[in-house]
Structure 1
Amino acid sequence: MSLELEHECPRCEGKQTFWRTASMELHLGEKTKWRCPECDYGFIRINDEADIDSSRIDA
């Protein structure tokens, strides 16, 4: 898996290059944390499908 991901950042209001900060294998699939280097916004992606805003939870 790549260390970079092009993704829409709601704080920067545009596409940014997010960096993978952590990953682990769960029973649901791979959980990956991504962080925007510009504003520190983060989200979690499980199995490359579901995006979860990690700025609202302690993940």
Structure 2
Amino acid sequence: MTTGMSVLQNGAQVGAVTRVVTNEQGAVIRVLVQGTNGRIYSLAPSNVSVSGSTLIASGLRI
């Protein structure tokens, strides 16, 4: 998971990863996504998965 990755939800592109927040041990604790509407959204790692070079989001309301 890296910045700049496209973010898809239900097969549609909804934004891009702007920051991956980790704890001291390196575990992901939040993923910040800039939506196609320009707003920044904070996602829990339980609401995302990686498929190739794309982040798949669930529960994102844009």
TM-score, normalised with respect to structure 1? 0.48
Structure with greater helix share of residues: 2
Q: Larger relative CO (CA 8 A, sep 6+): 1 or 2?
A: 2
TM-score, normalised with respect to structure 2? 0.47
